[in-house]
Each structure stands twice: as structure tokens, then as C-alpha cells.
Amino acid sequence: MRIHLVNPNTTRSMTETIAAAARVVAAPGTQIMAATSAMGPASIEGHYDDALALPGLLAAIAEAEAAGVDAHIIACFDDTGLEAARTLARAPVVGIGEAGFHMASLLAHRFAVVTTLSRSIPVIEGNLLRYGLDRRCAAVRASEVAVLELEDPASGARARISEEIGRALREDRAEAIVLGCAGMADLARALGEEHGVPVIDGVASAVALAEGLVRAGLTTSKTGAYAPPRPKPYAGRLADFAPKG
Amino acid sequence: MRIHLVNPNTTRSMTETIAAAARVVAAPGTQIMAATSAMGPASIEGHYDDALALPGLLAAIAEAEAAGVDAHIIACFDDTGLEAARTLARAPVVGIGEAGFHMASLLAHRFAVVTTLSRSIPVIEGNLLRYGLDRRCAAVRASEVAVLELEDPASGARARISEEIGRALREDRAEAIVLGCAGMADLARALGEEHGVPVIDGVASAVALAEGLVRAGLTTSKTGAYAPPRPKPYAGRLADFAPKG
Amino acid sequence: MRIHLVNPNTTRSMTETIAAAARVVAAPGTQIMAATSAMGPASIEGHYDDALALPGLLAAIAEAEAAGVDAHIIACFDDTGLEAARTLARAPVVGIGEAGFHMASLLAHRFAVVTTLSRSIPVIEGNLLRYGLDRRCAAVRASEVAVLELEDPASGARARISEEIGRALREDRAEAIVLGCAGMADLARALGEEHGVPVIDGVASAVALAEGLVRAGLTTSKTGAYAPPRPKPYAGRLADFAPKG
Amino acid sequence: MRIHLVNPNTTRSMTETIAAAARVVAAPGTQIMAATSAMGPASIEGHYDDALALPGLLAAIAEAEAAGVDAHIIACFDDTGLEAARTLARAPVVGIGEAGFHMASLLAHRFAVVTTLSRSIPVIEGNLLRYGLDRRCAAVRASEVAVLELEDPASGARARISEEIGRALREDRAEAIVLGCAGMADLARALGEEHGVPVIDGVASAVALAEGLVRAGLTTSKTGAYAPPRPKPYAGRLADFAPKG
Amino acid sequence: MRIHLVNPNTTRSMTETIAAAARVVAAPGTQIMAATSAMGPASIEGHYDDALALPGLLAAIAEAEAAGVDAHIIACFDDTGLEAARTLARAPVVGIGEAGFHMASLLAHRFAVVTTLSRSIPVIEGNLLRYGLDRRCAAVRASEVAVLELEDPASGARARISEEIGRALREDRAEAIVLGCAGMADLARALGEEHGVPVIDGVASAVALAEGLVRAGLTTSKTGAYAPPRPKPYAGRLADFAPKG
Amino acid sequence: MRIHLVNPNTTRSMTETIAAAARVVAAPGTQIMAATSAMGPASIEGHYDDALALPGLLAAIAEAEAAGVDAHIIACFDDTGLEAARTLARAPVVGIGEAGFHMASLLAHRFAVVTTLSRSIPVIEGNLLRYGLDRRCAAVRASEVAVLELEDPASGARARISEEIGRALREDRAEAIVLGCAGMADLARALGEEHGVPVIDGVASAVALAEGLVRAGLTTSKTGAYAPPRPKPYAGRLADFAPKG
């Protein structure tokens, strides 16, 4: 099975971390094909970065579709471009944010999300509402660790994330934690042991869900919300994105 | 990986159908250990059957835990005893109802459920509300096929289910269908091809999710809702169910 | 009027406390027929106890129906088996949890629940959601008093409950309190006087609602969710629970 | 026990019908003291009538408080002035709309309301939302019978209401019906027998709830939403309504 | 354009403050015709005052309609009588509460309301729920400043309101503030500068919305909730309010 | 006052229609500066077009900010890029979808949306949910008129839209209609007269709201969701979109 994992930001070193986390949990026989977006922001922190990450993400999805893959994973916790990617791909598409939320719902009555910066909270809350899982989420909390600090061992990022997890358990009555950034994938196991509750990484969750969909022979519905794009002209710098029909 | 799949009704032939459906989608190396409840109703149709299926289900969970398994699947679409089982088991527990809903959420903006009898609709609607996925479900529809008719080729069950799927697509703007009974597991693929939309079987979905949880090293949170039962005396015919602590 | 009040745990002394509280508020001419479950847990604290209390509860309901009663009250704040009991009984069935919530809704814009152990919070929150009254409930709080401690004057239970009521009034803007355990029935009046707000006991509330339903000639709808159980074989230790039709 | 039942419209003959319905279900020893508003609309159909019925209603509440009563019932299905009355009265106050909804919630998973004119639907839907019981209500339907037609045997009112009940059972999957007008109180029993489901009259429901509150020694919380009106001058034609403090 | 701004309390000096705030933001050519209710409470603080303010408000609306105006503004943050006024008026009607909420929704993901006394919180929360904007509101907070204190410079009102704004920003993660009383209209700009976030006055918001509706040629729908009152007799002191049809 | 109205699709003729509709309702002294996106889809129909319209939209917003404007209007009913634009702009930003919903909420208890193609329904439903106004919307209906057909008089577009409006009034109990596409702006008045209910055009609504925000001196909160983009490198074809800080 070939799973295309796309990092929608343009920081290659982060793609490596994420791909490694994915490969740890992948079933024997699953091949993780990691890709980095070729255009857009170096990290996705808030609505503006989200918007500008979309063309690069969709180009990567289209390229992988052409090459032939069994499933796609969008490796940004905001689930950047998830719905647009579903209209484009024949193979199923899983976002790591939704994957983490769904997995947490199987393990705990109430979970909390611990993410990077405050400005990401409304994006994540909006996704939870859209997916219907807002009622299961006790709180979305920010550790105020910037995405790129996660790659810097001197930043104290891990300690600050762990403190915020402690607060979620004590103050929000959370029973499990979802880590709210792809770049935190390698911290999940250790933080889970430290706190004695499930600490869920969206990347591992997405690999599991993508494998499951493929094995069950399921893919995105093409009636309604995810119908293929209608052929039409596109102008200017993005003209080559025009759907061919 | 050993997955314990328990049919909480006491009809062995149905366990065979379900186990076969599970084995079709299981990953290489996954062993499906199917069990049938030893006490309670022959089929689960409504709140009374649900209540009396619980001791048999929980006995089966306890037995499998003692034998050592990696995950449990509760193979009744009502997710009978899901929460009680989670307090009892060390390994993660997945219900086929919740599994179907979560998988459908990854494939469609709106799904519908097609189940057996009308009396099951309130149970399923209650579960959707509890899980938070009611907003994603366009309708829960009954085909008025009784559970045990599903095993009788002369009952016309398949045709009646297919008609109800057609209505859900036309009248509810559903983009995918979740089959609302474990006994329908073997119909999913053919109905999906007939209607051109994802038709999702909860059994296959639960296998995928259970495998994923195990591979990601995740299990039920033991703080809060699913804390282990407190040791205390139990009386009468159920005295042997008393938690040992 | 004959009201069957069933304690779904197997602790007879608690049945006495509850029945006494019921008799204090019953109208002249109402006879409270108290029963204790003959099988299952000594107290109900969380999902596992809830599940194993069901057969004993349903046996008691069936016995009282055969004897002829006008209404049933289920005297556990979790409303254990409420829906299954409604499918079984010809007479109306009231749970003390729902009774307390409905009465509180008539007296205050926002109420809070003060219950025993934290593990009961998710059960109660789930019920509030199912009944639709979650929006009226400011918080469900645990006093961390175990159910059986309520019977021990040396446990300091009353003081701990009173403290938690104080917190609910100050921190949650609650205007009334619902006591979240049948075993607290005898504390309501004194706590209400102490705090100057309505402190509502589910047992008294359920007696009032049951009497009202009987006097108004109303009983459970038998179409839909509470349709009588379908006749079918039951196996093993619970074979005698099989519905006769 | 003395229960003050106030008809907030100014049609005395309707008060008689309502009081008679109340007396049928009242417990022995309960005295129903019926009053008709002395100012405002002859019937309450929509927001404008609702607004102008308030002074007359509140004057009647104040008068009964002065005379000494144990509880008040507001006998308009819109629950006209319910919250204002609660700030004014020492005794508990029950609206017949809320009473019908709460009683229906004890008898059915889903109920429907059948009221008079379409223009009352938004008022009733707004109340259901406010009380939190919107999720329990399958539909609010209008029979297009005007309130005062209910008193005219030649109007065919009963037949039109019965037809609408039939539609609610077939099309909305309702399991019980709440009659949405005080003037329908005398039809409930016959319509219930005709349709084989509980048909609930708000007047009888309110008597039961009021009796229950009194017997349980409970009254409105005076902290928060229903705190007594602050003393202050009132001007003009309504100057005599100024709270005295 | 002529906009009728009605203060539904009977304190003329407050009408002046409000009218001045309205004139500051009105477009060139907009005439603000301010009126004070001729009967009812001197200030509106809770449900009882709200109820008794309705006749005076509706009389003022009717008078202005007769004189000919393009829109009405109800200048009480509780939106007293908004729905009844809409049934009566040909011109559109805007409440300052709803206006503030809608404007805040255009400027911030989450806003908080800072109002006068605690007893107004439930009224405002009820309105937010009814309008559907409860999900956008992080909290409704009381400064415990009485309405008439707002007119007294020695009361320290401004400082107490500012403190409460600070708490809403820090503790509720609010991104904008809606001032919850017409009498606070003149404080908005200074408090906005002090706190560096939008501080929204409902009066200015309502003027903007009313002007916009008029310019777009839009007025209240007369089908459904806001259909004109049905002609019928009214009795007693309010007989002259009877709709003529 | 200078209002920047940006059409986020690249069809100039549609910009002309929209700008004309905006100018009809603009106050004297308001200058509508219309712009067409320079890159991306010729029309926006579903999630893929939405995603690829974002860079062109944001470039237009940035350009207008540099030139100096008082407010921005995004003239696509999907409110494409609304949140990203708010992080970028100093001036307030209004989407025509949200504008239509807010205006409809001031005129009717329940409104319906009539849009172009079915595939837009989930986008619009998602926005209503996010804004909190889903509870006010009776239905989102598709006329199955493609966006570019709106410019072709021979397409029968107007008749098909009118038929769908009729269905919304009859079947959904809608009291007002919001037209769900910028390209329908010139049809609103005639359809309103034909059906006798408010038919609301988002473009006119957005002009009114933008003018109102400017006149009230209000702009987007810069704390939280709409904080300015953090400076960081952007790669590839979109490198020039990198925030400068």
C-alpha cells in the first residue's frame, strides 16, 4: 500500500520528522511517500498561512494522484485544504487533525488539544465544530511554542507542552490529549508515559485511518460536497490549476 | 495482533458471518478471535434486548482480557455495553456503530444510516448525539428488516435495504451510507457498487480502527469516565461479576 | 395510588432511606412500595456497575407490573435502565435523575448537580445531553463522597457536599442545586436552608412527577423507542428474561 | 393546597373550560382558584398579544400573592410572562407550555406539538429552545384553528386538530402529542384514545407539577434570573406596577 | 431618512444620551427622532421591568408609524419588545442588543458582553440563544453598575466597567467587547482605545443597521412570526391597544 | 468613504454587475472601488475553486490596503478567504454571504438560502454553522443554475431561481430569502415583489454593513483569530506573499 503524506508547509526538515513518525506506526507493506509543498509558507500559523498553503498542497495531491497512490495524508494539524483535496483525489484523504480527534474519541469521553500558538486555537475550534466533535473536546490550549521552535532542542518546547498538558488534565477534566501540531509527532509516546493518559499524535492516527480505509476498499464520496471540480478557465499565475474535467 | 470480536447476541451463525467479514479486511498478521455471548437475547432490537445483553458481553470481554488480546470489537451496531467494556478492559475497545460513523465522517460531508427496525432508530440517534456526530448524520432510516431475517435469503432483505439506501440518497442528500446492523456486513460492497457511493460496514471499520489503535500503541484512558470498576460486593445471580480491584 | 420505588443497587439500608424520603412527600392516599434489586452491585458508581444493575432492576419492574402498580420510580441518580424499563412496563416510569433535572428547570434558569464521585460525572452529563437539559445545567460537580459513605455519619459527607454546593453557587452562577445521588435524599431540606437556594432531591421530585402522571391518566408511549420487547429466545443464565410477547 | 390558575387572556368562558380541566386532575384537597386577566387581549395569538397580556397577568399574580396561595399556573400555552411572574411571586410558578413539554419528555423519546395558528409556531419553538427541550420535539404543527373557534362546536376544530395529530405521528415519527393551547384541555383524553398515543394537555400537566413542587417544599430560586424586582419609579398609566421593594 | 429611536424606559435624560450617541454616527441626511416611553419603569433591569416596559414601547412604535418613519430602533440592550414591535410596524425594527451582537460577529471570532447587573445576564444569554449567536459569545459579564448610576459621574461606573472588560479579555479569550446597556453608549470609543480591541456600542450599531436596511429597501417579513396582529377586542386599561386590522 | 469591493473570481463582467448593484444602495459620498481577482478560477463553485481563489483575493486586498481604503467587501457568497483577509487588512472586511445572513436575521425569524449548484450547499451550510446562524436558516436550496449562466438571459436562470424560492416558502416555512450568489444581485428586488417576502442580496447587505462599521469607527480585532500574519519566508511561486511583519 502506498500512502502519500504531504507536508503543506515548505520546511523539508519538518517533513522528515513527520515521515519518520508515520513510518514507525505503518503496517508492514505500507510505503509512506513523503512530499513537501513546493510553494507557500515555511510554517502554518493562522488563517493567512493556511490560505497561501493551499495551491502547493493541491499541486502535491494532483502529482501523487498522477503517480498513483492508495491514500493521501495532509500533515498539518489545521487540516489545511482537506475538503479541496477530497474533490481532487480519487484516493481517500485524511487530515492529521481530524484523525487525532477521531482516535481520541475512541479512547476518552473528553479530550483536550494542546497546540502551538494562540492564533491557531480558533482554526482548530472551527474544525472541531465542522466535524461535530466540539462536544467531545474539553479545551483547545496553546503552549505558545512556535512551529519552528519544535525543531530546536534548546527552545524548551517539550517542557512547555508538558506543562500545558498538566493544566488540561487538572483544569479541564480532560482524559486524553491530542497534540495539535505535526511537528510534535515524536513527543507523543514520552508525554503519554509522563502523564499516564493517552497522548495522541495526529500523524500516527492518520496513518492508521488511511490504512484502514484502503483495506476496507473505501474512498471519498463523489456526490455532493466532494464532487470533482467543474472544468473551467483559471487565470493568471494559477492558470495551470484549471480543472480539466 | 489478536483482536477479540464479540457478538453480544447469542446467535452463533451471525457470529460466523461477522467474523468472516472482519477477516476479509484484516491486515496480514491480524488474528480475529470471534466469540458469541453465552447469555442473553438471540438478537438485539431495542432497549430491553440491549440491557439484557450486557452481562454476557462483559463476561466475554473479561474472558478475552484474561486470555490476552490486543483489542476488542463489540459487534452490535447499537454499541451495546461499549462504555462498561472500556472500564473493564486494558486493551482498547471499539464498537461497530461508532466505527462506521467515524469512517463515514472521513468520506462524506453528510451520511445516512440504514438499519433494521424502527425501534432501533432512537438507540442509534442517541449514540450519534453522545458521540457528537449527530450533526454529520442526515437521517437514520429503518428498512423494517428484522435482524434474523438477514440470515434468510428468501426474506427479500437485501432489496428492501437497497430501496431505503436509494431514498436516503434522494431525499436526505446523504453522500454515503452506514449499514446499521452487524448482520449486514456482507452486503456493503455490492450495495456500494449498485449505488455509486461509499456503503460502509461497521465491522470492517472497527477492524481498521482497532488495528490502528494497536499499531499506534494507544489504549483507553483510565482517568475519568473509564476508570476501572471499584471493588465491591455484588449480590445474587450476578455475584461473580463483582470487580476484584 | 400504588407507586413502586425500586432501588437498583442491592443495599437494603439505602432502600429504607430512600423510601422514607419518598413517603414524606407522597400525597395522602399514595402508597410507596419499596423494593431492592435482588442481583448486582451494592452501589452504582460508573458504567460497569450501571450495566450489571440492569437485570436486577428489570426483574423488579416485571414483578411489580405483575403485582399491579400505578407507576414505577427508579431510585438511582444515573437513571439506570430507565429506557429498558419503559419498554417493559405498562405503568409510567420515572427516573430520579431526570425528575430532579425537570423540577430544577421549573425553579431556576441555571442549576448545578452535586454528585458523589468524579466517575459519575460523565454518566450524568450524558443523561443531561440525552434529555436535552444540558443547556440548563451550569455544571456537574463531584463531592468525592462514595455512595456508601453517605450512610456513615462519621464520614463528613454532609460537610463535603455543602462545600461543593457553595462552589457551584459562587463559581458556576448556579441558582439551584440538584443532589446527584438517591442516598442524599434526606439532606436536601437542611442544605436548602443553609444555602438559601432550592436544593432538589430527585426522590421527592420523582414521587411528585409519578403522582402527576397517574392523576392525569398518562403513561409511556408504546410506539417507537419504548415499544414492547419482541418475543425471542434468550440463552444461558438470563434465559428467563426472554420476552413472552 | 391552593393553586392560583390565571388565564392571561380576558375571555372568561375560556377560564371556565380551563379551570374545569384542572379540577378533574387535581388531588383531593387541592383548591383551584381560577382568575381571568382584567386587561389585555381576548385571546393570545402571536407576539403582540403576548406583550399586551403581561400587565394583566402580573396584576393577577400580585393579587393572588397578597391573598396567599401555594402555587401559580399561567394558563396560556405560550407561557406568557412566566419569567416576570417568577420574579414577583414567592410561591412557585408553572406555565402550561413548559409543563406539557416536561411531562411529554417522561413518556416519549420524541413528541410533537399541535397548536392553533401558524403564527404561534415561532413563539413555541422559541420557548422549546429556551427550556432546552427543542431536541426532544419532532415538530410544532399548526391546525389553523383560531383560539376562539375552540369554543364553537360548529367550527370543526376537533377534526382539524385530530388530522394534524395523525400527520405528526406519520410524518414526524412523534411518539406523543402535546396540545398547544389551553383551550384544547378538554380534548386530550378523547384524542389520546383515538390515536393510541399519549395526548398531553398542559393544564393537567401544570396542576401535577405545581402540586408536586408544593408537596416537596420547593419554590423559585431568588438568586439570579428571578431575583425580586428592584424598587424604582414607574411612570404613566402603569405607575401602580412599580415594585415596592 | 427618518429613524425613530425609542427608549423603552421612562427616563428622559437617558434618551438624550442615547440620541446624542446615535447622531454622532448617523449618515448625513439621517434624522434621529428620539422618543421616551410614556409609561412603565424608569430603568429596565430584569424580567419584571422588561414586561412592564412593553405597552409604553409599543405605543411609541405605533405613534411613530402613524407619523411616518423609515425605521425604528429599540434602545434597550435587552431588545425589549423587539418581536412584538416587528408585528406592528411596517418599517424595519432593530434592537440595540442584536445590533451589537451582529456587528461584533463581523469584527471578532469571539466577543464578550459587559453589562450592568447580574440579573440581566440571563435575559441577554436568552437573547443570544434565540438569535443563534450564543456560540460566538465567550461570556456575558456584569459590572454590577446599576443603570441609573451610569448617569452619575461620581459612581465610579466607568472604572468598574473597564475592569470587567479587562477580565473578559484575559479570562474569556474575548477578542471584542459589546457594551451591554444603552446608557454606556458614550463610553465605547474611550474604552476601545484603552483596551486596544473593538468596544462596540449597540446604539451606533443599530443606527448603521437601520440605515443599511432602509437603503437596501428591506423591511420585516410579514409572513410567519411577524404577521400583523389579528383584530380582536382588548379589555380594561389596555383596551385602546386592540389591533384594528 | 472608499469601499473596496473585490470579486474573487476572474470574470470581469460579473464584477461589473456586482459593482452596479453595490452602487445602487451605497450612501451619498461612498465610493465603490471594484476589483477583479487577477489569478484563479473564472467562477467559484465548490471547495476546489474556493481554495484556488485565495491568493488572487489576498493580493487584491493587500493592494487596496496599500492604496488606502475604509473597508473591504468580498463579493463571493462563499465568503472566500474572509478570515485570511481579516488578518491582512487594517480596514474591516465583510463577506457578502455573512452580510446576507445577518441582514435576514433582522427581518425574519427563519430564512432560507437559494444558491446556484448543489455542490455549494455544504460550503454555505459550513459557513452558517461557523457564524452561529445555522439555527436561523430553514434550508439551503440549490436552483441548479451555474454561476456563469446567470449572465446569459437565455438560460432561464431567473425562472428556476423563482421556483426554488416558492418551494422554500411553502415547504421550509421560510419567511425571507437570501440569494446565494453575487451574480444574483440584480434579481433581488423583482423576486421580492413577486413573492411578497424580503429577498435579500448579499452585495447590498455588505455595503450597508461596511458603511456602518466605518461610520461607527470600528475595525477588526487584532488579538486572537485575526492577529496579523507572522513574518516568515514563503517559497516558490508564492514567495512574494510572505508577510513582512
Across the range C8-30, mean pLDDT stands at 94
Closest chain F residue to the Cα of B135, Cα to Cα? F129
pLDDT of the residue at D146 = 86
pLDDT tens digits for range E199-222: 999 999 999 999 999 998 999 999
Please state, for a pLDDT cut of 90, what percent of chain D lies above it: 89
A135: nearest CA partner in chain B: B132
Inter-chain contact F235–A84, Cβ cutoff 8 Å?
no
Report chain A's mean pLDDT, rounded to a whole number.
Answer: 95
Size of interface C-E (CB pairs under 8 A): 5
What pLDDT sits at residue C245?
A: 66
Element (H, E) at E41: strand E40-41
Helix (H, G, I), strand (E, B) or coil at A27: coil
Interface contact flag, D198 C221, Cβ < 8 Å:
yes
Q: At what angle do helices E96-105 and F202-215 cross, to 10 degrees?
A: 100
User: Which residue of chain B comes nearest to C230, CA vs CA?
Assistant: B45
Interface of chain F toward chain D, CB-CB under 8 angstroms: 109-110, 135, 173
Report percent pLDDT > 90 for chain F: 89
Q: What is the pLDDT of residues B231-240, one digit of tens each?
A: 999 999 999 9
Looking at residue B53, what is its pLDDT? 98
Interface of B with F (CB under 8 A): 109-110, 135, 173
8 Å CB contact between C76 and C182: yes
Express each pLDDT in F137-166 by its tens digit: 999 999 999 888 887 888 889 999 999 999
Whether F106 and E134 lie within 8 Å, measured CB to CB: no
pLDDT of residue E241: 97
Q: Say whether E229 and D84 touch across the interface (CB within 8 A).
A: no
Please give, rounded to a whole number of angstroms, the shortest distance from the CA of C153 to a CA of chain D.
25
Residues 6+ apart with CB under 8 A from E193: none
Task: Calculate what percentage of chain E has a pLDDT beyond 70.
Answer: 100
Cα–Cα distance for residue pair C182/A124, rounded to 1 Å: 40
Closest Cα to residue C53, out of B88, B240, B51? B51
Cβ contact C98–D106 (<8 Å): yes
The shortest CB-CB distance from E218 to any of F200, F212, F225 is to F200
Q: Confidence class of residue B152 from pLDDT cuts 50, 70 and 90?
A: confident
b/e per residue, F136-145, with b = 16+ CB within 10 A? bbbbbbbbeb
pLDDT at E211: 95
Residue D60 has pLDDT above 90, yes or no: yes
Question: pLDDT tens-digit profile of F205-216?
Answer: 999 999 999 999
Any idea which residue has 459620498 for its cell? F29
Q: Is C241 left (phi over 0), alpha (psi -120 to 50) or beta?
A: alpha
Check F169 against E223: CB less than 8 A apart.
yes
pLDDT tier, C220 (very low <50, low <70, confident <90, very high otherwise): very high
Per residue in D142-152, pLDDT (tens digit) is: 999 988 888 78
pLDDT of F109 strictly over 80: yes
Q: What is the pLDDT of residue D154?
A: 85
Please judge whether C107 and D213 are an interchain contact, meaning their C-beta atoms are less than 8 angstroms apart.
yes
Strand partners, E115: E142, E180
Give the three-state DSSP class for B77.
Answer: coil
Nearest CA-CA distance, residue D109 and chain E, Å: 24
Give the minimum alpha-carbon distance from C138 to chain E in angstroms, rounded to a whole number: 12
Distance of CA F97 to the CA centre of its chain: 4
Over residues C90-119, the mean pLDDT reads 97
pLDDT value at F245 more than 70: no
Second-level CATH architecture of B2-96+205-241:
3-Layer(aba) Sandwich (3.40)
| Contact flag F87-A46 (C-beta cutoff 8 Å) | yes
Q: Tell me the torsion sign for CA atoms C205, C208, C211, C215.
A: negative
Q: How far is CA C48 from CA B81, B82, F18, F134, F227, in A?
A: 9, 10, 62, 38, 47
Mean pLDDT throughout B167-184?
Answer: 95
Q: What is the mean pLDDT of residues B159-178?
A: 96
Cβ separation of B211 and A27 shorter than 8 Å? yes
In E, minimum Cα distance to C135 occurs at: E129
Which residues of D119-242 form beta strands (DSSP E)? Answer: 137-142, 176-180, 199-201, 234-235
Flag if C227 and B83 touch (Cβ within 8 Å): no
- Tell me the C-alpha distance between B234 and B238, whole Å: 7
Asked whether residue C18 carries a pLDDT value surpassing 90, the answer given is yes
All partners of chain A with 3 or more CB pairs under 8 angstroms: B, C, E, F
Q: Which residues does A contribute to its contact with E (CB < 8 Å)?
A: 118, 121-122, 129
- State the greatest distance between any 2 C-alpha atoms of chain E, in Å, as a whole number: 55
Cα end-to-end span (Å), chain E: 27
Calpha distance B106→A137 (Å, rounded)? 18
Minimum CA–CA partner of D109 in chain B: B122
Q: What class has domain C98-201?
A: alpha beta
**Which of A110, A130, A218, A220 is the best mutation test for B, with the most CBs of B within 10 A?**
A218
How many angstroms separate the CA atoms of F16 and D203, rounded? 61
Chain C contact residues (CB < 8 Å to E):
109-110, 135, 173
- Contact between chain A and chain D (3 or more Cβ pairs less than 8 Å apart): no
pLDDT band at D126 (very low <50, low <70, confident <90, very high): very high
- Secondary structure string (H, E, C) spanning B212-237: HHHHCCCCCCCCHHHCCCCCCCEEHH
What's the CA gap between D128 and E130, in Å, rounded?
10
Instruction: Provide the pLDDT confidence category of residue B245 given band limits of 50, 70 and 90.
Output: low
Return the pLDDT at A147: 80
Confidence of residue B119 (pLDDT cuts 50, 70, 90): confident
pLDDT tens digits, residue range E56-105?
Answer: 999 999 999 999 999 999 999 999 999 999 999 999 999 999 999 999 99
pLDDT value at residue A15: 95
pLDDT-derived band at E183, boundaries 50, 70, 90: confident
**E98-202: CATH architecture:** 3-Layer(aba) Sandwich (3.40)
With CB atoms and an 8 Å threshold, state whether E110 touches A122. yes
Structural domain boundaries in chain F: 2-95+205-241, 98-201
The phi and psi torsions of A186 (rounded to 5 degrees) equal -80, -5
- CA dist D175 and D192 (Å) reads 11
**Cβ-based neighbour number of residue D176 at 10 Å:** 30
Average pLDDT over residues F64-79: 97
| Mean pLDDT in residue range A66-82 | 97
pLDDT of residue B31: 97
What's B81's DSSP letter? T
pLDDT in tens, C33-71: 999 999 999 999 999 999 999 999 999 999 999 999 999
Distance from C-alpha of C44 to C-alpha of C61, rounded to nearest angstrom? 18
List, in sequence order, every beta strand (DSSP E) within A52-145: 71-74, 93-95, 111-115, 137-142
Q: Is the pLDDT of residue F83 over 90?
A: yes
Asked, colleague to colleague, whether A2-96+205-241 and A98-202 share their fold, the answer is yes
The residues with which E140 forms a beta bridge, in sequence order, are E113
Q: Quote the pLDDT of residue F146.
A: 86
C chain contacts of residue D226, beta-carbon cutoff 8 Å: 108-109, 175
- Say what the pLDDT of residue A128 is: 97
Q: Which residues of C touch E118 (CB under 8 A)?
A: 173
User: pLDDT for D155-206, tens place per residue?
Assistant: 889 999 999 999 999 999 999 999 999 889 889 999 999 999 999 999 999 9
Query: pLDDT-derived band of residue F18, with 50, 70 and 90 as boundaries?
Result: very high
- Mean pLDDT rounded to a whole number for chain F: 95
Per-residue pLDDT reduced to its tens digit, C106-121: 999 999 999 999 989 9
Question: Top-level CATH class of D2-95+205-241?
Answer: alpha beta
Q: What is the pLDDT of residue E154?
A: 85
Name the minimum distance, in Å, from the CA of E194 to any CA of chain A.
Answer: 22
The residue-averaged pLDDT of B141-162 equals: 88
Minimum distance, in Å, between the CA of residue D225 and any CA atom of chain E:
5
Give me the pLDDT at residue F153, please: 80
Helices D157-171 and D188-195, axial angle in degrees (round to 10): 40
pLDDT at E245: 66
Q: Which residues on chain A are in Cβ contact (under 8 Å) with B211? A: 27, 208, 211-212
Q: How many CB atoms lie within 10 A of CB E236?
A: 13
Q: What is the mean pLDDT of chain B?
A: 95
In this prediction, residue D245 carries a pLDDT of 66
